[in-house]
Structure 1
Amino acid sequence: MRASAREPGRIALRVNARPGVELTVRDELTGAQRTLTPSTEETVLGRFARWSCASTLRRFTTMQAAADGSPATATADVRTPSCAHRMTMDGPRMTMAPHGAAMHLRDRWHLGDFAVRFCVRTPGARERCRTVQLRPGPHERTVRFRAVRPGGYVVTAAMPYQRVRRTMRANPPSGRLRILATGDSMIQLIDSFIRERARSVRALVRSDARVSTGISKPSLLDWRVHAREQAAGLRPDVTVVFLGANDGFPIAGAACCGVSWIAEYARRAREMMRTYARGGRGRVYWLLLPAPRDGLFRQIFPAVNAALRQAAQGLGDDVRLIELDEVFTPGGRFRSSMEIDGKRVRVRQSDGVHLNTTGAALAARLVMSALRRDRMLP
């Protein structure tokens, strides 16, 4: 006997048994059993059992009389996903106050039949809760509520074994999405394309490029201090960061590009990410560095990217990494040109580091696509 859990929410069994002889199949977790008389040597029970929050390890037993009349048994085990990741909640990051908003609950198991405690904490930490039922069968439910005033909203949905959280910003009626595009020379050109693309949705784009600066060289510009000044002065709803082409300097006594250097770089970058996130009121889109052509950059850029991935861990939806490294240099292999929209075009400048105009346009398109996927833009 073999058990599989490939279909969401369901366990299928394949049983080899004697045709024409009564067979009993038992679910050892629930005690449910089914008796049948197979007509062939292999019997498929496509939806014999459901996944359960009570246990991820499931065991099934078959019992049938052997040819000599003695009882014959067989068992099969299968692991199912944990209930801790069963439910997802998606919804807008931004809305207008006063305005209706909606969160979309989804059961990854495609089973439904459970209750959710749905709570909305309004600005000022006032929380209102209600119980929402996902009926058996349907695995999606839209829950609507009203953002009565501007400010940050915290929405939670809880069920046994799991609790999910999402933040939402309600802007005043005259408000426009504020986008900050910042970094070193790598952000130049990209910021112009972001501004051009954002014009159609009336978003305000502010560019702040600091050439020849880096997180590992605060003597020229301390990016952690500068990030605090930017966040306080501009209050960006979205911050797009592309930084690292001038890094590789020793940090806190650690030379690039070992474990200690990466850890300290990650600590500084995480501080910046949290600053730009502004306690959930802003969102950060940090661009990873495409592999360079040659020189010391070949060691530095992977270390910077590793540090940024480490920095973003645990920050949840507040930070999104845009993996330009995989788009422009898959597998870490440098290439000066690539295929875009069916045409082979050059995407890097002659220095082998920066993106050219075509590459910058593609990077900006990837950023705007991420903003739309996250419902930051219509």
Structure 2
Amino acid sequence: MTEPQRDDSQPDGPTESAGRAMLVVLGVLGLLAVLRAPAMVHTGEGMRPGLTRTLVLGGARPLVELTHPLRLDLPDRWLADLFGRAPASSPSNPGLASTARRMTPQPAHPARTVPALRVPSVADPQRVLITGDSLTETLGPAIATAAGTTVHSRTETRYGTGLVRPDFFDWAVQARAQAAQRDLELVIVTMGGNDGQTITLPDGTLLPAGTPRWAAEYTRRAEVVMRIWTGDGTRHLLWLGLPPARSKRLAGYFDQLDTATAAAARTVPGATYLDLRRWLSRDGGYSDYLTTADGRAVLARSRDGVHLTLDGARIVAGPVLEAVAAMRQPG
């Protein structure tokens, strides 16, 4: 008895179609992982410490080491340039690590040498740039709203960045680009939430997070970007300290970073450091809920114990603008 022949013209069954679709999806995801490995590292660096961050970086970093020599990361570089990654460093526009390495300690400036900020008006508002890492996501809009129509501000947020990894995002190069493109009077900066990690110097020396040499190098790097943003004393900079962190480990790093940026600001004419812990802590420590100026209790911190909610950002918008107003006073 002759067996019936299979009709290959008939469509595949549901199981075969689903299997092929799954293979296509896995293939596309694998291709994206190869072509966008640097973006995966960037995402991982911006995550809080934990298993997810470890897994993402554990997979992405070896891919970067494999794809970069083969130039398979070119699509990622093009996309990064298109969507706002810092421009590449060059001999005429040196990056943060090389500039920091050449720096020598500067004496603290005894008094403000930069002319006072002018008093703005609705007709001629103050030109302000608010920039930094993801902490600016809520701080920027809160400050802009509280400032009203006499201030024209723009917020530029660079997620997952900081001063520790200029190989990934170079704030020295970015700061020069920002200062060159806009007729700025004041720059407001906050960053550091991603910087509790090892610094690698250009010669390969590793400075573990929390060590004295790590803190000293961070101070030098902070001074580099401050001098760029201030134009060596031609404009004002307000550097906002980090909010207290829920994690004791991060809180320790944040304290060191605040000390480093405050020390750097003392050496740079036009730079002012503002410690936010007075308004963002309860009895000096971390608290999810804080009290506003009118006595209301609000949820001020995000679930990660690092970032500010919009209500938390509103709490410090007033003190930030008071510090800006002080810059308008001569002397």
For 2:282 and 2:218, locate their aligned partners in 1 and report how far apart those are by CA, in whole Å. Answer: 24
Whether the 8 Å contact between 2:116 and 2:328 is mirrored in structure 1 is no
| Letter matched to residue 186 of structure 1 | L
Q: Which amino acid aligns with 2:278?
A: E
TM-score, normalized by length of structure 2? 0.59
| Aligned residue among 218, 223, 227 for 2:175 | 227
In the alignment, what sits opposite 1:211?
A: 159
Larger Rg: 1
1:276 corresponds in structure 2 to: 229
Q: CA deviation at 1:168?
A: 4.3
**Quick check: which one's strand share is greater?**
1
Structure 1 residue 221: Cα displacement: 0.6
Counterpart amino acid of residue 324 in structure 1: L
> Which residue, 153, 167, 189 being the options, matches 1:241?
189
Distance 2:227 2:250 in 1: 27
Paired with 1:182 and 1:249, the residues of 2 have a C-alpha distance of: 21
Q: Deviations over 1:126-176 (max 9, x none)?
A: xxxxxxxxxxxxxxxxxxxxxxxxxxxxxxxxxxxx998552467999754
Distance in 1, matches of 2:311 and 2:263, equals 30
Displacement of 1:322 in angstroms is 1.6
> Matches of 1:217 and 1:226 in 2, distance apart?
13
Partners of 2:185 and 2:236 within 8 A in 1: yes
**Relative contact order, CA 8 A, sep 6+: which one is greater?**
2
Aligned partner letter, 1:194: I
State the match for 2:285 in structure 1. 333
User: Alpha carbons of 1:211 and 1:375: their partners in 2 closer, same or farther (altered >3 Å)?
Assistant: same
Amino acid at match of 2:250: F
CA distance in 2, matches of 1:342, 1:193: 18
CA pair 262-235 structure 1, distance change in 2 beyond 3 A: farther
Name which of 130, 143, 160 aligns with 1:181.
130
Does residue 1:310 correspond to 2:263, yes or no? Answer: yes
**Aligned residue for 2:41?**
none
Q: CA deviation at 1:345?
A: 2.1
How far residue 309 of structure 1 moved from its aligned partner, in angstroms, is: 1.4
Question: Structure 2 regions of 5+ residues with no counterpart?
Answer: 1-109
Percent of aligned pairs with the same amino acid: 30
Query: 1:112-127 counterparts in 2 under 5 A?
Result: none
Contact preservation (8 Å) 2:230, 2:237: yes
Change (3 A) 1:372 1:170: closer
Question: Which residue type is aligned with residue 199 of structure 1?
Answer: G
Partner residue in 1 for 2:305: 352
Confirm or deny: 8 A CA contact 2:222 2:264 kept in the other structure. Answer: yes
The amino acid across from 1:235 in the alignment is D
**Partner of 1:272: helix, strand, or coil?**
helix
Greater share of helix residues, 1 or 2?
2
CA distance in 2, matches of 1:246, 1:164: 31
Scaled by the length of structure 1, the TM-score of the pair is: 0.52
- 8 Å contact from structure 2 (residues 184, 235) kept in 1: yes
Aligned pair in 2 of structure 1 residues 281, 164: CA closer, same or farther (>3 Å)? Answer: closer
SS at match of 1:349: coil
Match for residue 152 of structure 1? none
CA distance in 2: counterparts of 1:266 and 1:244, whole angstroms? 12
CA contact (8 A) 2:133 2:160 kept: yes
Cα offset, 1:350, TM superposition: 1.4
- Deviant stretches of 4+, over 6 Å: 169-174
Report if the CA contact (8 A) 1:169-1:281 is conserved: no
Q: For 1:297 and 1:172, locate their aligned partners in 2 and report how far apart those are by CA, in whole Å.
A: 39
The SS at the match of 1:338 is strand
Amino acid at match of 1:242: T
What one-letter code is carried by the residue in structure 2 that aligns with 1:205?
S
CA distance in structure 1 between the partners assigned to 2:111 and 2:259 by the alignment = 30
Which residue does 1:124 correspond to in 2? Answer: none
Question: What displacement does 1:263 show?
Answer: 0.7
The Cα offsets for residues 151-202 of structure 1, whole Å up to 9 and x where unpaired, read as xxxxxxxxxxx9985524679997542100001110111111222233321x
Aligned match of 1:200 in 128, 141, 149? 149
The answer on whether the counterparts of 1:236 and 1:276 sit within 8 Å (CA) in structure 2 is no
Aligned CA distance change for structure 1 residues 248 and 167 (closer, same or farther; 3 Å): same
**Within-5 A mapping of 1:1-378:** 165=113, 167-168=115-116, 176-201=125-150, 203-251=151-199, 252=201, 253-294=206-247, 296-316=249-269, 318-329=270-281, 332-340=284-292, 341-375=294-328
Tell me by how many angstroms 1:231 deviates. 0.9
Local SS of the residue matching 1:325: coil
Amino acid corresponding to residue 192 of structure 1 in structure 2: P
Q: In 2 relative to 1, CA 217–282 (structure 1 residues): closer, same or farther, beyond 3 Å?
A: same
Contact 2:142 2:310 in 1 (8 A): no
Matched residue SS, 1:327: coil
Partner SS state of residue 189, structure 1? helix
Residue 142 of structure 2 contacts residue 313 of structure 2 at CA under 8 Å; is this kept in 1?
yes
Alpha-carbon contact 1:276-1:282 (below 8 Å) kept: yes
Q: Aligned to 1:167, what secondary structure does the other structure show?
A: coil
Gaps of 5+ in 1: 1-161
Query: How far apart are 1:335 and its partner, in Å?
Result: 1.1
Residue 290 of structure 1 contacts residue 326 of structure 1 at CA under 8 Å; is this kept in 2? no
